[in-house]
Structure 1
Amino acid sequence: MSENFDVKLDGKSYLPDPSVKEKSWLQDYETAYSEFLKDPEKHWENVAEELEWFEKWDKVKEWNHPYAKWFTNGKLNITHNCLDRHVLNGKRNKVAMIWVGDNGEEQILTYRQLYRDVMRFANGLKSLGVEKGDRVCIYMPLVPEQIIAMLACARIGAVHSVVFGGFGANALHSRIKDAQAKIVITADATLRRGKRIDLKTLVDEAVVNASCVEKIVVFRRMTPQLELFSEIEVDFYEIMEDVEKECEPEIMDAEDPLFILYTSGTTGPAKGIVHACGGYMVGTYYTTKNMFDLKEGDVMWCTADPGWITGHSYIVYGPLSMGATILISETTPDYPDPGVWWSMIEEFDVTIFYTAPTAIRMFMRMGEEWPEKYNLSSLRILGSVGEPLNPEAFEWYYRVIGKEKCPILDTWWQTETGMHMLTTTVGEPMKPGFAGRPVPGVVVDVVDENGEPVPAGTGGFLVIKEPWPSMMRTVYGNDERYRQYWNTIGNYYAAGDLAVKDEDGYIMILGRSDDVLIVAGHNIGSAEVESALVSHEAVAEAAVIGKPDPLKGDSIKAFIILRMGFNPSDKLKLELLYHVRMNLGPIAMPSEIDFVGSLPKTRSGKIMRRLLKAQELGQDPGDISTLED
């Protein structure tokens, strides 16, 4: 985008009941934000002091563009704050986690039970030779064992890399290799819509030519029980036997890495985003408390999977650091019927519900009669994440699910940011289509390509102007890629999104300025899908674009040039879809495939996906001066 463009803004807004604001942690946005601007370091120091540290920091922030250190020389362990302090402070018998399986199976863990399981599994990992700094890949269904594994890694200072259980063997292999994972933790299978999907067979394929892997830990949940043949395979619960019950938390430096999480890039392979122990803990704790306004009696249900950053921050580390009760569920929103999620909200008295616009749009399509069957009066706060919440979906969510009494948090943030950056804080006026204003603690703006702020109502690039505690520290093994975030637009962090700000400072996200596709709330790099297609023997070249989809956000369309000797056919289309599914998982499968004779390219040979998209959507292609032909 080389020039600004004007956006027509609807001035509609909703004001929640004043009592919501009166009871909230963050009572007045303007006051909180101006206090932060007066002394940004004091703001974050006050938050950090609400948590427990083994040794206090020397300095709150060291900023040497583009590198930040937060809480320098502070010593901590995030699991001490998520487990020990609650067990020792009278919450040991409080429910930490409620789990509902795809088949309706239920499990409840108190803080004491979760604490003991995490310590035993941490000792089990130590018995396999896992040490501080080692990378552990977790590829599991959404079961309590997945969260136990994450916390156990953090307990002993191992760096976890959680890979979403819907990814295929190739995507898993590349992430194992890139992180040089020593251990892979998996399950025999996941359940989805009543069907068994094997995970262990995908792991077997993924570890071929990954000599870094020393052991595969398997959670066996199915009957008959899967046999473990290889000498490198061990059972999840067997490694918890014959170990010490106690496992002291590893003393971590605030800047030690906590986890790597892979996110799609516009070019090349997925990027391993690295988050550090101290700043990430402070950021997720702060936003869980103040944005979700989380209180002692709340039951929080974030419907994401820990394979994504939303699950890391707002299923695991944020809520558990607050001592909250979390609900996790393997269920899909329409199986066995479209009432399943609403029945769980009623059954477990869920108070905070955080889901994706794609799910909300699906519920809209199913009709209001489904939620109307259930008592949703326990709901207090509604949240949305993954892509912009369009005004129609906002109105439906507010009216049908929230009964016009629940504040809606449309949150904008990224894997790279670790925590919420934009939202409408509880009790403030909500504007459909707008994410909201910067969270007190961060400085976000809309600028032109030179980094100059653009006028209200004018589109521009979304940037973060100052460092924040939960920012990523680097891209694993590719620090140059990290520096690009901070060196593209002025000295600011370039988010890669287009946005517009209104007169009140509310920001609307307009979409990606690059080629990341957002399908059903999941970021998928066009490069990853293209390389999966090109790995098929029939494909010479491929380009994929995202097309607006009323349900999924983006649907994927692929343009394919075939190799000599291969002819277009419906059979080949099906083959290619299956090929992508096997490589990357079902979420990355194109909805459409066009066989073409050529692709638009720049003189340097880069495919101009922008041109394909403009042509597909009947839009003005813009500047085509770099087009080869």
Structure 2
Amino acid sequence: MEIAWTPTPEALEHANVVRLMRRLGFDDYRELQRRSAEDPEWFWPAAIDDMGLEFSQPWDSVVDVSRGPEWATWYVGGKLNLAWNCVHRWAERTPDVAAALWESEDGERHGLSYRELSERVTRFAEALASLGVDPGDRVAFFLPMSPEVSIVSHACAHIGAVQVPIFSGFAAPAVAQRLQDSEAKVVVTADGSLRRGREVPMKEIVDEAVRESPSVEHVVVWRRLGRDDVPMTPGRDLFDSEAMEGRPGTLEPLQVESEHPYLLTYTSGTTGRPKGVVHVQGGFLVSIAREVAYQADAKPGEVVHFVTDMGWIMGPWEVVGGNALGCTVLFAEGAPDWPAADRLWSLVERERVAILGISPTLTRALIPHGRELVERHDLSSLRVLVTTGEPWNPEPYRWLAEVVGGGRCPIINCSGGTEVGACFLSPTVATPIKTCSLGGPALGMAMDVVDVEGRSVRGEVGELVCRRPFPGMTRGFWRDPERYLDTYWRRLPGVWVHGDWASVDEDGYWFLHGRSDDTLNIAGKRVGPAELESAVVAHPAVAEAAAVGVPHEVKGETAWIFCALVPGAEPSDELESELRALVSAELGKAFAPERILFVGALPKTRSAKIVRRAVRAKALGADPGDLSSLENPETLAEIEAVVRG
């Protein structure tokens, strides 16, 4: 792959990571990264000091691995409060800077300064305490992306409660499953929200879920739509304005141990129930702030917007990381391409977004609308593009870099996961970036690519692993330690095996090739779905694709590729032949797909990830597992019908 971006002298001069390098006496970023991974007890305190994060009580030791790396604890003996670091200290220092902005789907706009956010967080924390919420109790919220998620999230941290963000597109059974598993005491929701012009009855969804969730004692309702007919259960339900009425806003943030639980968020598994991922106040704050500061290069007062949901880890990423650095977090209700296909670009122009977060899948979905929709907007405020979610295809990557970024914005393509609490791999604005690359290991991360025996490999595809514990790692799955150990630690003892295929090229750039459980093995040769998909997405008629492996008598496995076409393109035998030829030309005849199937759309989560396991399951007539995170489950019926012919 070619070099897609090179830092200018001006970018280097003002980069946060260059400031850190100078402070620590390094001229070469890779040398800093290497030292940070080898000596965490030196690096992490230095990063905390450089970022200005505050502990109210110093730690006795940086890390304790006495129970093994799987159960490492960080900043042992230290105390802090995440809400202080993200909100209240900024309210003292930059009270009039915007902390949160919001644009609703129907055009409403408002914002909160750090002073206003601090006041509302404190009063809502007092309201939660008055409802009987104690430190360690779980508070779930089911809300559209809005400043209210910031208020609730930081209020939970303020009093030491554990927040449980629930994906705003879930139906009642999925909400109930998370309420039951977490044993939430309070649920915060809205009377409704808008998505693609339709009202989403969020309160009614919660009511149905709470009927099956005996732990819930109170439901607090934000009047998003101002409905007169919202159902309220006396003695249990109250509006947020009632809950905060008369609260003095004087409650001091609770200083908690660094390992005090902060976040319980759920991620879908390939089979069985969703995994409850536990994060703690100290490690999560430090790890996320490190990423937003040194990878995304965010500065105080800059506007950060990620197309996400609080039920995806990138929601807490922007709320914690953005506010910890004194940024302005922009929330947008609804879909990024509704009510107009250029809504996202309008947001960037209107709100002067500096750091934009977007997934590869969403980028591919926006390309067919045409570059003209992008070019009619002034995107000169953009400075950094952050992407994550899945591997890139070269052509959409180049489109984002050139059409959206104007060739001047680096694409900080990072990879980690809900359980990682930030990124394993990421480029930085201090070094050149190759097309589709993830740069290399993020600061403080001891990453490697290994073969089946756990030996390091270069120049070939292997398993992505982490050889040392890190502050942001989950403290286990909620009430299921064995599942946590089985998932990450038992394949190679003492090593975190993440489940991604990766490679490192001759220049030291790292690339991902998809989930190892998505990887195809064709005639003994492993190939990631992204490589097959990239070949067909290069055709101008193909908007996006999902490649899956199906059993084959001779090859062991063969590829089927499901393709969604751009508007105006029509399936044909000729197009099928062209796409098959593209794969053969790119990867070799042995990898030519057995079938190419055309569908109207591919199954995706609200965060725009293609759910390949569901595609493969439908292709094979198997159980697709947990589908609660799908935004468009109707696509699976079409896939099933197309497969049957």
Q: Settle same-fold status: TM greater than 0.5.
A: yes
Q: Partner of 1:396 in structure 2?
A: 399
Structure 1 unmatched ranges of 5 or more: 1-9, 519-525, 527-544, 563-575, 597-614, 618-629
8 A Cα contact 1:266 1:515, kept in partner: no
How far is 1:547 from its partner? 5.3
Q: Partner of 2:45 in structure 1?
A: 45
Counterpart of 1:165 (choices 154, 168, 174) is: 168
Q: SS state of the match for residue 413, structure 1?
A: strand
Q: Partner of 1:62 in structure 2?
A: 64
Q: CA separation of 1:37/1:143 partners in 2, compared to 1, >3 Å: closer, same or farther?
A: closer
Q: CA separation of 1:212/1:342 partners in 2, compared to 1, >3 Å: closer, same or farther?
A: same
Counterpart of 1:246 (choices 234, 243, 250) is: 250
Q: Partner of 1:368 in structure 2?
A: 371
Q: Partner of 2:526 in structure 1?
A: none
Rounded to whole Å, the distance in 1 between the matches of 2:640 and 2:307 is: 37
Rounded to whole Å, the distance in 1 between the matches of 2:83 and 2:301 is: 21
Rounded to whole Å, the distance in 2 between the matches of 1:81 and 1:584 is: 31
Q: Which aligned pairs between 1:318-467 and structure 2 lie closer than 5 A?
A: 318-456=321-459, 458-467=460-469
The one-letter code sitting in structure 2 at the alignment partner of 1:330 is E
- The TM-score with structure 2 as length reference comes to 0.80
Deviations 1:422-464 (A, max 9, x none): 11111422111222200121011111122111231x1111111
Q: Which aligned pairs between 1:81-96 and structure 2 lie closer than 5 A?
A: 81-89=85-93, 91-96=94-99
Counterpart of 1:279 (choices 270, 279, 283) is: 283
How far is 1:584 from its partner? 5.7
Rounded to whole Å, the distance in 1 between the matches of 2:639 and 2:377 is: 44
8 A Cα contact 1:407 1:427, kept in partner: no
How far is 1:40 from its partner? 2.2
Q: SS state of the match for residue 137, structure 1?
A: strand
8 A Cα contact 1:100 1:331, kept in partner: no
Rounded to whole Å, the distance in 2 between the matches of 1:330 and 1:111 is: 21
Q: Which aligned pairs between 1:55-134 and structure 2 lie closer than 5 A?
A: 55-63=57-65, 64-89=68-93, 91-134=94-137
Q: Partner of 2:475 in structure 1?
A: 473
The percent of aligned pairs where both chains have the same amino acid is 36
Rounded to whole Å, the distance in 1 between the matches of 2:144 and 2:122 is: 21
Q: Which aligned pairs between 1:187-586 and structure 2 lie closer than 5 A?
A: 187-225=190-228, 226-313=230-317, 315-456=318-459, 458-484=460-486, 485-514=488-517, 553-554=610-611, 556-557=614-615, 558-559=617-618, 586=631
Number of residue pairs aligned between Structure 1 and Structure 2 = 547
Q: SS state of the match for residue 44, structure 2?
A: helix
Return the structure number with greater helix share: 2
Rounded to whole Å, the distance in 2 between the matches of 1:263 and 1:400 is: 33
Q: SS state of the match for residue 117, structure 1?
A: helix
The one-letter code sitting in structure 1 at the alignment partner of 2:280 is A
How far is 1:592 from its partner? 3.8
Q: SS state of the match for residue 71, structure 1?
A: strand
Rounded to whole Å, the distance in 2 between the matches of 1:14 and 1:93 is: 35
Q: SS state of the match for residue 475, structure 1?
A: coil
8 A Cα contact 2:223 2:239, kept in partner: yes
Q: CA separation of 1:180/1:355 partners in 2, compared to 1, >3 Å: closer, same or farther?
A: same
Counterpart of 1:185 (choices 171, 183, 188) is: 188
How far is 1:158 from its partner? 0.6
- 1:150 maps to 2:153: yes
The one-letter code sitting in structure 2 at the alignment partner of 1:591 is L
Q: CA separation of 1:595/1:300 partners in 2, compared to 1, >3 Å: closer, same or farther?
A: closer
Deviations 1:168-224 (A, max 9, x none): 111111111111111111111110122101111111111123211111111122243
Rounded to whole Å, the distance in 1 between the matches of 2:492 and 2:296 is: 31
Structure 2 unmatched ranges of 5 or more: 19-27, 520-528, 531-547, 549-559, 566-601, 605-609
How far is 1:296 from its partner? 2.8
How far is 1:153 from its partner? 0.8
8 A Cα contact 1:450 1:490, kept in partner: no
Rounded to whole Å, the distance in 1 between the matches of 2:256 and 2:205 is: 34
Q: CA separation of 1:584/1:465 partners in 2, compared to 1, >3 Å: closer, same or farther?
A: closer
Q: CA separation of 1:368/1:216 partners in 2, compared to 1, >3 Å: closer, same or farther?
A: same
Rounded to whole Å, the distance in 2 between the matches of 1:260 and 1:65 is: 21
Rounded to whole Å, the distance in 2 between the matches of 1:418 and 1:363 is: 28
8 A Cα contact 2:97 2:301, kept in partner: no
Counterpart of 2:17 (choices 12, 26, 39) is: 26
Rounded to whole Å, the distance in 2 between the matches of 1:443 and 1:208 is: 46
How far is 1:17 from its partner? 2.8
The worse-fitting range, judged by mean Cα deviation, of 383-392 and 395-404 is 383-392
Rounded to whole Å, the distance in 1 between the matches of 2:216 and 2:264 is: 17
Q: Which aligned pairs between 1:590-605 and structure 2 lie closer than 5 A?
A: 590-592=635-637
Deviations 1:492-547 (A, max 9, x none): 111111112112222211111236999xxxxxxx9xxxxxxxxxxxxxxxxxx995
Q: SS state of the match for residue 281, structure 1?
A: helix
Q: SS state of the match for residue 131, structure 1?
A: coil
Rounded to whole Å, the distance in 2 between the matches of 1:22 and 1:616 is: 55
Rounded to whole Å, the distance in 2 between the matches of 1:40 and 1:365 is: 45
Q: SS state of the match for residue 200, structure 1?
A: helix
Q: SS state of the match for residue 374, structure 1?
A: coil
Q: CA separation of 1:165/1:60 partners in 2, compared to 1, >3 Å: closer, same or farther?
A: same
